[in-house]
Amino acid sequence: MKELLIKYRLEIAGVIAGAIAGYAYWHYVGCASGSCSITSRPLNSTLYGAMMGSLLFSMFRNNKLKKDTHNNE
């Protein structure tokens, strides 16, 4: 379990940062009329922010391949 947390630490940080940003967006900007599908409810905005944060932070992952994978051809 601890190895997974270390391996996916960027994605976890992205989920947390995105969720905070999504909730803050709903709180400060939001959609008063209720017609906006994402920002009309705090849950929707928080989940959308978490997903976007995870995707954004995962772009910065350094995917180094081991030398063994190149030599097995």
Spatial separation of the C-alpha atoms in residues 53 and 11, rounded to whole Å: 8
**Nearest by Cα to 30 from 44, 16, 18:** 44
- pLDDT single digits (tens) 7-22: 889 999 999 999 999 9
- Residue 65's pLDDT is 52
- pLDDT single digits (tens) 25-61: 999 988 878 788 888 889 999 999 999 999 999 998 8
In the chain, domain spans: 14-60
Spatial separation of the C-alpha atoms in residues 26 and 72, rounded to whole Å: 51
- Residue 71's pLDDT is 55
Spatial separation of the C-alpha atoms in residues 52 and 20, rounded to whole Å: 11
Q: Which residue has the higher pLDDT, 62 or 23?
A: 23
